[in-house]
Structure 1
């Protein structure tokens, strides 16, 4: 057993990473029902920042100094991937189920690929093109709940719009992250972004006026904060980039395909959400699309984590 664990610990960790990322939708749904969005986001990243700082100091001993252009990029990362994404994430989860949100957010790799091709001039392969089409079809099925007439008539709900906004924010965050990760290690860049986002969230959180009542929060809410801040952010990103270092981005990225599957299963088991035919069909299209979008042709050598499309 010990030999098995030693030889497969990286894969076990990556499996858990996908589980933790999937769990963020469950915890997010619980928090969205109990707290306003900025407060939820602030609590998540206050905890995440604390643990990420500990991880960075343990591994590297210190934070590298950054120049002014890097500082501006970090602020942009905090605005898009932390403050913006999480405001929309928790706002959206007030209106739609965790399972539907997880499938819609799986559009991330598609938009990231498009933006990377347009802005960073990255190669746009036929596999990525097919993956984008499949993901888009799947997302449309989920958003419309199987009735595409809803989209044609423009009758998309606020929940779906908020979650689509998440896709835009995370894709922007990832493309900006690719730029700064040329100079900073991924986990250090993520930590800086979390710190920046947490600081940005202080004022809107204060204006919501419920943070001071933290002693009255239920155990369910605090467990959700832990699941989001520690498991789904600090630990998940640390293990994910650790996995990339050990087995490469292509193999590590495969585990991201399981995120919407785990999120949907947990939503059914924990939140008792219904598994509709449109959700299942849409999920199949989206997961297939995510796989193809992240697919790397064997004769192309990918060396850096920036090539992997992650979203949580």
Structure 2
């Protein structure tokens, strides 16, 4: 019964779309809390070491069985590992050390805008009108929250050089999301994910060694290790499995709009865990985000099924 229930959900990506943003909201909260104690590249390496350690026992045989196909796709794997595993995470953690939270929230929400552009440039994939409208409405909701209900306040936002790191990180993830569509159907998705994790860790290795040589101190307290375990299992492994599944079934543009839900779940976590108040502009912004998400994903119900 449980297996049947899980399989039914697995075949409905419009339900799965809600989970990665929830996991990433936790990652955002923890990433900010660790900004002063955990070196950024170390945190990026730690999360993927944890994720790979959990995943490997389940895919080792498949990795060996599909080694020839994996080698054929080595450049795709390297690009996905560079952009999605290494670049996005390391740059995001470096940015969180200096970039104000309001700027991070606003800049992160450019991902659904970047993905259709990247998809068109790389694959000539066009975006349905309803999806484009949903992206615009949800981005309006993000803007309403960031401006605290006063849109003219966006004109006074100041962006520093470090903000470019956030945009560069988001561009990395947009490219990763589009490149995922090039994975051959014969290549097992979990084996592909494990291979991209390994590639990403190899890309991160020289930067991590440089960080350690520069005097970075690794925290080993229970709180830091627990945070890394959460980020590695939920915000890395499970979130990426679900995100990749949704991209395979719905396309990068439709899946990308769900990234705006990170703001919704972050607000919920901040209220529940930190006691931060919820104001009227939060309610309006969240309503716009959910309306845009609904507009963008309604056509997804008619998309093809992928086994």
Asked if Structure 1 and Structure 2 have the same fold, meaning a TM-score greater than 0.5 normalized by the shorter chain, the answer is yes
* In structure 2, distance between residues paired with 1:67 and 1:231: 25
Determine the structure 1 residue equivalent to 2:94: 91
SS at match of 1:32: coil
TM-score when normalising by structure 1: 0.75
Task: Give the alignment of 1:127-166 within 5 angstroms.
Answer: 127-152=130-155, 155-156=158-159, 161-166=164-169
Residue 44 of structure 1 pairs with residue 47 of structure 2: yes
The aligned residue for residue 112 of structure 2 is: 109
Distance in 2 (CA, whole Å) between partners of 1:59 and 1:235 is 19
* Distance of 1:129 and 1:242 partners within structure 2: 21
The offset of 1:281, in angstroms, is 3.4
In structure 2, do the counterparts of structure 1 residues 192 and 168 end up closer, same or farther at CA, with 3 Å as the change threshold?
A: same
| Structure 2 residue ranges without an equivalent (≥5) | none
How far apart, CA to CA, are the structure 2 residues paired with 1:128 and 1:161?
Answer: 27
Q: Which consecutive unaligned segments of at least 5 residues does structure 1 have?
A: 306-312
Aligned position for 1:8: 5
CA 1:157 to 1:283, structure 2 compared with 1: closer, same or farther past 3 Å? farther
Partner of residue 229, structure 1: 232
Task: Tell me whether 1:302 sits opposite 2:304 in the alignment.
Answer: yes
Using the TM superposition, give the Cα deviation of residue 211 of structure 1 relative to its aligned residue in structure 2, in angstroms.
Answer: 8.5
> 1:309: which partner in 2?
none
| CA–CA distance in structure 1, aligned partners of residues 126 and 174 of structure 2 | 17
With normalisation by structure 2, the TM-score equals 0.76
Query: What is the total number of aligned residue pairs between the two structures?
Result: 296
8 Å contact 2:105–2:146 — kept in the other structure? no
Matches within 5 A, 1:59-78: 62-66=65-69, 70-78=73-81
2:85 corresponds to 1:82: yes
User: What residue number does 2:210 align with?
Assistant: 207
Aligned to 2:187: 184
Task: Using the TM superposition, name which of 83-92 and 110-119 deviates more.
Answer: 110-119
Q: Mark the CA change 1:191 to 1:295 in structure 2 (over 3 Å): closer, same or farther.
A: farther
CA shift for structure 1 position 225: 0.5
Q: CA RMSD in A?
A: 3.8
Given that residues 25 and 102 in structure 1 are in contact (C-alpha distance below 8 angstroms), is that contact kept between their aligned partners in structure 2?
no
User: Closer, same or farther in 2 for the Cα pair 1:72/1:103, shift >3 Å?
Assistant: same
